[in-house]
RNA sequence: GGGCGCGUUGCUCAGCUUGGAUAGAGCACCGGGUUCCUAACCCGGGGGUCGGGGGUUCAAAUCCCCCCGCGCCCGCCA
């Protein structure tokens, strides 16, 4: 309809002596909120340019629109040309798209530009905490959005197996238990074994905060850790090094899996040391215009012209002893990503802003045309607590959060569904609880700090994940009671939608493709969450306002089609949010 | 001190990239709704200097400048 409106409006404006083409007009097009119209064009700009009265111009332009199958009615009002869509046309197009597209309804065209989304990438030193999970949810959701928009997308987890954190956990676990300092030993059970029911990441991560504190005050321990760091740099890890890290990582991935988060690929940092690419980066950076060497032999880049807030205004590329740094290794990693992907996106906590700026500066320094893109998120803070840190041991674990959410969900499900077997209640509770957590994270703009409040995060009413699941389940129930498969053909008469509730729902369904497109191009993940809520709200309102199964045959047929389309679209939106659509709950 | 980000109703947030008419939701509060497809729902109501001030514009929550408050960062850590 947009194209028709633009063409008509351009012709009408030219007839009124304003010279514009449809393409330029497209930027003026607005979706009105204050008035019940589908599209609007403000005339003030053209009125001003031609010295006319906006109200009169709008009325004149509106009057010149010719009737068509897409446009029902056009009116000029206080300087705006308001266009009302012909509803049958809108209904027919929308429902056709939904029923033809099914689970692909809303998706963009296939594209060739490939994308790599790196997210989470937490050091495998212990269980994931609530702060980190925001990056995981954002990254996973972004990847799902990009895929839906048509971009071939790969998610990656960057595993730090050579940094200080990796050295520290290896230092702990490579020692025989009896030789552990008491401060560390006391973090484990008396027999030192993994307690039954405790996840492996939790168990192996137990001594980590204490170890951090310990090496700060014990130089000899600190020296041992440094030696391990150098060994890792040389590619000679302590025995069990990769095994320990892999086990912790597996435990972390188990938690993420509950949220539907899985990775396509893992990039181990050590591979970039092993294959010489870190050395290559170092050599390359040594030959750049701003390369410099410190007195102790460390290599650096004079970054004073890059506007970094570093006091010394230099980026250290390698230490005096020749070992590499996180940034340098990360440059090697990113160059490798660019050799495979057209776009490289990193989802990072905002404490990594400087790192992001440093990477950009080094890419400029190396005269690389491309740049990684960054999705930076503020941390989740607990009301009353400060920043969460695994190092400091001040974190609330993701597992405990999920367990609590699922526990509360089970209470809710049990109250309503005493007809279901316990296993089914457990299954639903798991999906409701984890869906609630995903939604509460995904609905907030990444750059905003989230003040985490348990009551709000674990609420199942209003603007929540379960609200969305509930609307889906209701739609599914209607189809089930009608004896129809969701994939059955749903005939409909596009001229048969007259109820406001029907029309509102259809309009929401029609907005879905635009929502994906906008989210993908802007990277604004939260838009999908907002949309899903508005769609569910429109469905609930429709459900309340008109009967489906017990209505007159023609109405019943049409409403069943609408329910099926709503179910499909809500399901598609839920899947992008990583929330399981439930047939019953 | 410097860099970046945030500030929208009592609380939690959409909307800001690309400026349009009366700024939207949820929670909480008040009042209604269940002989009917799942009330985890729906309908209505009160509640707003969009942090403050200037500027640009026919038009500013949205763009620009200044200020205030809060957060993150400013390592040869990651």
Q: What is the pLDDT of residue A474?
A: 97
Number of helices (H), then strands (E), in chain A = 24, 13
Residue A391 has pLDDT above 70, yes or no: no
What's the 3-state SS for A192-208? Answer: CCCCCCCCHHHHHHCCH
Residue A309 has pLDDT above 80, yes or no: no
Radius of gyration of chain A (CA): 29
Q: What is the pLDDT of residue A392?
A: 54
> A213-224 burial, b for 16+ CB within 10 Å, e for fewer?
ebbeeeeebeeb
Task: Please check whether residue A225 is in contact with residue A125, taking contact to mean a CB–CB distance below 8 angstroms.
Answer: no
Range of the domain at A525: 398-444+455-576
CA angle A432, A257, A409 (to 5 degrees): 15
- How far is A268 from A157, CA to CA, in rounded Å? 8
Q: What is the pLDDT of residue A509?
A: 97
Residue A504 has pLDDT above 80, yes or no: yes
For strands A80-85 and A265-268, give the pairing. Answer: unpaired
A344: helix, coil or strand?
strand
- How far is A502 from A465, CA to CA, in rounded Å? 23
Average pLDDT, chain A: 93
**Between the CA of A148 and the C1' of B66, what is the distance in angstroms?**
44
Long-range contacts made by residues A210-217, C-beta under 8 angstroms, separation at least 24?
A: A210/A183, A210/A184, A210/A186, A210/A393, A211/A168, A211/A169, A211/A171, A211/A172, A211/A184, A212/A168, A212/A391, A212/A392, A213/A183, A214/A181, A214/A183, A214/A184, A215/A168, A215/A171
Residue A385 has pLDDT above 60, yes or no: no
Task: Give pLDDT tens digits for A508-534.
Answer: 999 999 999 999 999 999 999 999 999
- Nearest residue to B18 (CA, C1')? A27
Residue A382 has pLDDT above 80, yes or no: no
Strand nucleotide closest to residue A58 (CA to C1'): B21
**Between the CA of A350 and the C1' of B56, what is the distance in angstroms?**
32
Calculate mean pLDDT across residues A263-286: 96
- How far is A526 from A134, CA to CA, in rounded Å? 12
- How far is A18 from A440, CA to CA, in rounded Å? 49
Q: Which of A85, A107, A126 is the last residue of a domain?
A: A85
- How far is A464 from A408, CA to CA, in rounded Å? 14
Place of tokens 């050590």: A270
Residue A70's CB is within 10 A of a number of other CB atoms, namely 18
Calculate mean pLDDT across residues A331-340: 97
Residue A217 has pLDDT above 60, yes or no: yes
Q: What is the CATH number of the domain that holds A493?
A: 1.10.730.10
Is A54 inside a domain boundary?
yes
Which tokens sit at A35?
């008035």
Across A17-31, A110-124, A147-161, A279-293, least confident range: A17-31
**Between the CA of A341 and the C1' of B63, what is the distance in angstroms?**
34
- pLDDT bin (cut points 50, 70, 90) of residue A386 is low
Residue A401 has pLDDT above 80, yes or no: yes
**Between the CA of A547 and the C1' of B34, what is the distance in angstroms?**
14
Percent of chain A as helix, strand, coil, to the nearest 5: 55, 10, 35
- How far is A375 from A381, CA to CA, in rounded Å? 19
Task: Please check whether residue A144 is in contact with residue A150, taking contact to mean a CB–CB distance below 8 angstroms.
Answer: no
Strand nucleotide closest to residue A321 (CA to C1'): B76
The alpha helices in A263-346, defined as continuous H runs, are: 270-274, 277-286, 326-340
* Strand intervals (E) in A121-272: 153-159, 265-268
Q: What is the pLDDT of residue A454?
A: 78
Q: Which residue has the higher pLDDT, A21 or A13?
A: A13
Strand nucleotide closest to residue A504 (CA to C1'): B42
H/E run at residue A527: helix A526-545
- CA A474, A475, A478, A484 torsion: positive or negative? negative
| DSSP assigned state of A350 | G
Strand nucleotide closest to residue A463 (CA to C1'): B26
| ipTM over 0.90 threshold | yes
**Between the CA of A476 and the C1' of B63, what is the distance in angstroms?**
46
Q: Which nucleotides of B are covered by protein (CB under 7 A)?
A: 1-7, 11-28, 33, 36-43, 58-59, 71-78
Chain CA centroid to CA A236, Å: 37
- Nearest residue to B71 (CA, C1')? A449
Q: What are phi and psi of A309, to 5 degrees?
A: -80, 15
Residue A489 has pLDDT above 70, yes or no: yes
**Between the CA of A151 and the C1' of B42, what is the distance in angstroms?**
39
Strand nucleotide closest to residue A548 (CA to C1'): B37
**Between the CA of A326 and the C1' of B55, what is the distance in angstroms?**
45
Is A154 inside a domain boundary?
no
**Between the CA of A6 and the C1' of B5, what is the distance in angstroms?**
39
Q: Report the domain count for chain A.
A: 2
**Between the CA of A375 and the C1' of B1, what is the distance in angstroms?**
28
Is A229 inside a domain boundary?
no
For strands A299-302 and A291-293, give the pairing. Answer: antiparallel
Q: What is the pLDDT of residue A236?
A: 95
Strand nucleotide closest to residue A415 (CA to C1'): B40
How many CA atoms lie within 13 Å of A180's alpha carbon, on the beta-carbon side? 23
Is A404 inside a domain boundary?
yes
The residue among A449, A482, A477 whose CA lies nearest residue A543 is A477
Q: What is the pLDDT of residue A33?
A: 87
Task: Give pLDDT tens digits for A87-97.
Answer: 999 999 999 99
- Nearest residue to B36 (CA, C1')? A547
Residue A23 has pLDDT above 90, yes or no: no
- How far is A119 from A133, CA to CA, in rounded Å? 10
Calculate mean pLDDT across residues A178-187: 95
What's the 3-state SS for A372-426? Answer: CEEEEECCEEECCCCCCCCCCCCCCEHHHHHHHHHHHHHHHHHHHCCCCCHHHHH
Q: Which of A38, A64, A85 is the last residue of a domain?
A: A85
H/E run at residue A508: helix A500-510
Is A393 inside a domain boundary?
no
Residue A455 has pLDDT above 90, yes or no: no
Strand nucleotide closest to residue A323 (CA to C1'): B76
Q: Which of A85, A120, A152 is the last residue of a domain?
A: A85
Q: What is the pLDDT of residue A29?
A: 92
Strand nucleotide closest to residue A455 (CA to C1'): B27
**Between the CA of A280 and the C1' of B69, what is the distance in angstroms?**
47
Q: What percent of chain A has pLDDT over 70?
A: 97
**Between the CA of A537 and the C1' of B43, what is the distance in angstroms?**
13
Task: Give pLDDT tens digits for A44-72.
Answer: 999 998 889 999 999 999 999 988 999 99
Chain CA centroid to CA A127, Å: 21
Is A450 inside a domain boundary?
no
Q: What is the pLDDT of residue A376?
A: 95
**Between the CA of A349 and the C1' of B18, what is the distance in angstroms?**
27
Q: What is the pLDDT of residue A311?
A: 55
Strand nucleotide closest to residue A475 (CA to C1'): B37
User: A376 CB contacts (<8 Å, ≥6 apart)?
Assistant: A348, A349, A350, A352, A353, A356, A446, A447
**Between the CA of A522 and the C1' of B61, what is the distance in angstroms?**
19
Is A468 inside a domain boundary?
yes
- pLDDT bin (cut points 50, 70, 90) of residue A389 is low
Q: Which residue has the higher pLDDT, A215 or A131?
A: A215
**Between the CA of A522 and the C1' of B57, what is the distance in angstroms?**
26
| DSSP assigned state of A494 | G
Is A184 inside a domain boundary?
no
Q: What is the CATH number of the domain that holds A66?
A: 3.30.1360.70
- Nearest residue to B57 (CA, C1')? A45
Dihedral through CA A549, CA A550, CA A555, CA A560, nearest 10?
Answer: 0
Q: What is the pLDDT of residue A390?
A: 56
- Nearest residue to B2 (CA, C1')? A309
- Nearest residue to B77 (CA, C1')? A164
Strand nucleotide closest to residue A300 (CA to C1'): B76
Q: How far is CA A123 from CA A132, A248, A352, in A?
A: 10, 9, 14
- How far is A481 from A134, CA to CA, in rounded Å? 39
Q: What is the pLDDT of residue A286?
A: 93
- Nearest residue to B13 (CA, C1')? A444
Which tokens sit at A403?
């367990």
Task: Give pLDDT tens digits for A534-567.
Answer: 999 999 999 999 999 999 999 999 999 999 999 9
């Amino acid at each position: 309809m947009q194209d028709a409106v633009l063409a008509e409006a351009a012709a009408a404006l030219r007839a009124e002596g304003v010279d514009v083409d449809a393409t330029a007009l497209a930027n003026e097009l607005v979706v009105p909120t204050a008035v019940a119209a589908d599209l609007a064009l403000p005339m003030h700009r053209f009125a001003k340019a031609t010295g006319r009265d906006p109200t009169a111009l709008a009325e004149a332009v509106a009057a010149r629109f010719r009737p068509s199958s897409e446009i029902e009615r056009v009116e000029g009002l206080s300087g705006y040309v308001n266009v009302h869509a012909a509803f049958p046309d809108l209904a027919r197009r929308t429902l056709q798209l939904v029923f033809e597209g099914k689970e692909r309804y809303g998706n963009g065209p296939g594209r060739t530009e490939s994308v790599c989304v790196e997210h989470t990438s937490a050091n495998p030193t212990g269980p994931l905490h609530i702060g980190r999970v925001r990056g995981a949810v954002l990254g996973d959701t972004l990847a799902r959005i990009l895929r839906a928009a048509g971009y071939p997308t790969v998610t990656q987890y960057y595993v730090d197996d050579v940094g200080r954190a990796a050295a520290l956990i290896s230092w702990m676990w490579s020692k025989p238990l009896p030789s552990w300092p008491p401060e560390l030993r006391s973090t484990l059970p008396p027999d030192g074994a993994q307690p039954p029911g405790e996840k492996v990441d939790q168990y192996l991560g137990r001594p980590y905060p204490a170890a951090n504190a310990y090496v700060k005050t014990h130089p000899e321990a600190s020296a041992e850790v440094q030696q391990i760091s150098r060994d890792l740099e040389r590619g000679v890890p302590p025995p069990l090094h990769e095994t320990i890290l892999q086990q912790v990582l597996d435990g972390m991935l188990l938690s993420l899996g509950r949220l539907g988060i899985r990775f396509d690929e893992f990039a181990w940092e050590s591979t970039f040391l092993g294959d010489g690419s870190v050395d290559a980066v170092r050599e390359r950076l040594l030959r750049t215009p701003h390369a410099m060497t410190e007195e102790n032999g460390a290599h650096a880049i004079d970054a004073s012209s890059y506007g970094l807030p570093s006091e010394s205004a230099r980026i250290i590329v390698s230490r005096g002893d020749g070992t590499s740094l996180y940034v340098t290794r990360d440059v090697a990693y990113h160059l490798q990503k660019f050799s495979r992907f057209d776009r490289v996106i990193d989802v990072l906590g905002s404490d990594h802003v400087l790192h992001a700026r440093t990477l950009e500066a080094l890419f400029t320094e190396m005269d690389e045309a491309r740049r990684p893109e960054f999705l930076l998120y503020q941390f989740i803070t607990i009301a009353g607590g400060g920043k969460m840190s695994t190092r400091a041991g001040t974190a609330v674990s993701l597992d405990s959060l999920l367990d609590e959410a699922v526990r509360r969900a089970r209470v809710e499900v049990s109250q309503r569904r005493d007809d279901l077997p316990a296993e089914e209640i457990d299954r639903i509770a798991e999906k409701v609880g984890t869906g609630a957590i995903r939604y509460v994270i995904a609905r907030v703009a990444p750059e905003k700090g989230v003040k985490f409040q348990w009551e709000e995060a674990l609420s199942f009413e209003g603007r929540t994940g379960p609200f969305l699941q509930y609307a889906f389940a209701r739609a599914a129930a209607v189809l089930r009671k009608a004896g129809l498969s969701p994939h059955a053909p749903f005939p409909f008469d596009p001229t048969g939608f007259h109820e406001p509730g029907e029309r509102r729902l259809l309009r929401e369904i029609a907005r879905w493709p635009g929502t994906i497109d906008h989210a993908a191009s802007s990277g604004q993940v939260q838009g999908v969450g907002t949309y899903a809520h508005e769609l569910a709200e429109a469905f609930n309102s429709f459900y309340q306002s008109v009967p489906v199964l017990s209505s007159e045959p023609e109405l019943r047929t049409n409403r069943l089609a609408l329910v099926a389309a709503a179910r499909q679209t809500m399901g598609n939106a839920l899947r992008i949010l990583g929330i399981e659509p439930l047939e019953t709950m």
